């Protein structure tokens, strides 16, 4: 199911011209977006994508592999504080970066780690990508989600503690 959704997701981005290069296409096909969103919201609707085979798994995956931003954190009042960017925007940013194997990358704002994993695929080595954030909880989540997706070794998510990371 995930492979089919990933294929359709990338095919759609290709058809709309948001993916133009082989490197971006390969990265998007290689990195499962679902690994980087355990719990998320679209509008006020909450989804979980944490346990394969549960009743909400297929529905959550359908939303994850659509071209929409997913709210991934809310504050105590329920206001969105973080999100997984809309895939078409991610693709356009990656195309603009024009990454090549062997390049070193510094990402400011770790988010879920999805973008860092995509960039690691493009440069060929997770050790060449450093992603930082000022929020210690975000850094911890990024480490956990990168490891869950198989990208834990080599990455350096740094920062936290409320100050400059």
**Using one digit for the tens of pLDDT, what is the confidence trace for 98-157?**
999 999 999 999 889 999 999 999 999 888 998 888 888 888 888 899 998 888 765 655
Average pLDDT over residues 79-92: 93
Region of residue 70 (left: phi > 0; alpha: psi -120 to 50; beta: else): beta
- pLDDT tens for each residue of 21-31: 999 999 999 99
pLDDT value, residue 136: 86
43 vs 163, which has greater pLDDT? 43
Give catalytic status of residue 66 as yes or no.
Answer: no
Q: Which of these is catalytic: 8, 82, 85, 88?
A: 85
pTM as predicted: 0.89
């Amino acid at each position: 199911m995930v492979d089919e959704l990933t294929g359709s997701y990338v095919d759609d981005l290709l058809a709309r011209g948001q993916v133009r290069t082989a490197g971006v296409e390969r990265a998007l096909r290689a990195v499962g977006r679902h690994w980087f969103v355990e719990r998320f919201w679209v509008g006020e609707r909450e989804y979980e994508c944490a346990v394969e085979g549960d009743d909400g798994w297929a529905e959550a995956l359908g939303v994850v592999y659509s071209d929409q931003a997913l709210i991934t954190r809310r504050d105590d009042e329920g206001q969105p504080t973080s999100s997984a960017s809309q895939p078409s925007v991610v693709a356009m940013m990656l195309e603009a970066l024009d990454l090549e194997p062997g390049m070193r990358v510094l990402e400011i704002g770790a988010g879920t780690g999805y973008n860092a994993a995509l960039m690691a695929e493009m440069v060929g080595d997770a050790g060449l990508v450093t992603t930082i954030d000022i929020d210690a909880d975000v850094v911890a989540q990024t480490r956990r989600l990168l490891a869950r997706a198989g990208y834990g070794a080599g990455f350096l998510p740094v920062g936290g503690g409320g100050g400059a990371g």
